[in-house]
Amino acid sequence: MIEKFDIGLAYVWEFDEEFIHKFEEIFHADNLTTFIVGYHNVEEVRERIKERELHFNFYFDRAWDVEDSFETLGHLLVRRKTLLFNPYKKVLHAIDKATMHLELITAGINVPYSIIIPPVSETEELYISLNNLAILGRPFIIKPCNITGGGIGVVTGAETLSDVLYERKFNHKDKYLLQEKIYPVLLEGRRAWFRVFYAFGKIIPTWWDDLTHRYEILTHEEITKFNLRKLFQITRTINKTVELDFFSTEIVLTAQQKFIVIDYVNDQCDLRFQSAHPDGVPDAIISAIIHAAKNEVIKLKKKLKI
């Protein structure tokens, strides 16, 4: 007889344990069943799914970008009619910074002036005009287009073309984005730099300091006081473009009162609790994200009659 669970949760990062524990606690409170997949059982789970001994109605995978066996399992689950949150194909499209840069411009979103350069594997030679470099200004930012999360590979203080030539050697197959540096306005002493979570239909904006990497809860009163409602509109537009269930984006308000999207889409959000890690996400926001996931599962179960 097949064993069924409402949602499968895959993770391998040790710092996800508290998030997964909270996820199960909130789901179990509403009588929703959960099943954990990790290094210890991914092969066993794949065999059980293959033999139709085990089934998940939904699957939330925080491991597929680390280990191929999880992606293999995810594809099998989709063939078994499991609904995968953040489908892999859509994620790969969304995390390509060069692609998103162009698509967000088309969607009417402000992004930094950028130059997209090809990978070394396509062409070793690189020509950038002095005019384009001048528009970038100094310092400027160098970002690999397909490495995502935690600022990996990002150079924030580039000054010359030599810096670009040096950095692109490290990822031969990746495009790079050269981006002007954007500076936030100060709102009563705080940098107007925001990380906004899109979580299963719910939009949750937060203060996020790009220098300290510290979060603060952004209150409804502050949203009204500083006229920040556009954070919701921009994030909603990004979601229409990428069609992901869960992601975060970074948005800056400049002294010219322009909202500019800096880091377009991050799908594997760092969900360490602030109570345990100073640069973690406020605990209340993580709970809100999980509640949004729970509500989405309940809604879809009714809609799909599962």
pLDDT at 148 (0 to 100): 54
**Minimum mean pLDDT range among 116-130, 133-147, 223-237:** 116-130
pLDDT at 153 (0 to 100): 61
Q: Which percentage of the chain shows pLDDT scores above 70?
A: 97
Nearest to 271 by CA among 258, 280, 259: 280
Residue 151 in this model has a pLDDT that exceeds 70: no
pLDDT at 119 (0 to 100): 81
The CATH T-level fold of domain 113-180 is Dna Ligase; domain 1 (3.30.1490)
Domain parsing of the chain, residue ranges: 3-85, 113-180, 184-269
Tokens coding 291? 């509640």
Tokens coding 14? 């040790």
CATH no. of 3-85: 3.40.50
Nearest to 261 by CA among 137, 90, 141, 101: 101
pLDDT bin (cut points 50, 70, 90) of residue 135 is confident
Residue 149 in this model has a pLDDT that exceeds 70: no
* Amino acid at site 190: R
Residue 188 in this model has a pLDDT that exceeds 60: yes
Name which residue leads in pLDDT, 153 or 146: 146
For every residue of 204-246, DSSP letters joined together read EEEEE-TTT--EEE--HHHHHHTT-THHHHHHHHHHHHH--SE
Q: What is the pLDDT of residues 277-306, one digit of tens each?
A: 999 999 999 999 999 999 999 999 999 999
Residue 130: DSSP 8-state: H
Residue 170 in this model has a pLDDT that exceeds 90: no
Q: List the end-to-end C-alpha distance of the chain, in Å, as a whole number.
A: 17
pLDDT at 122 (0 to 100): 74
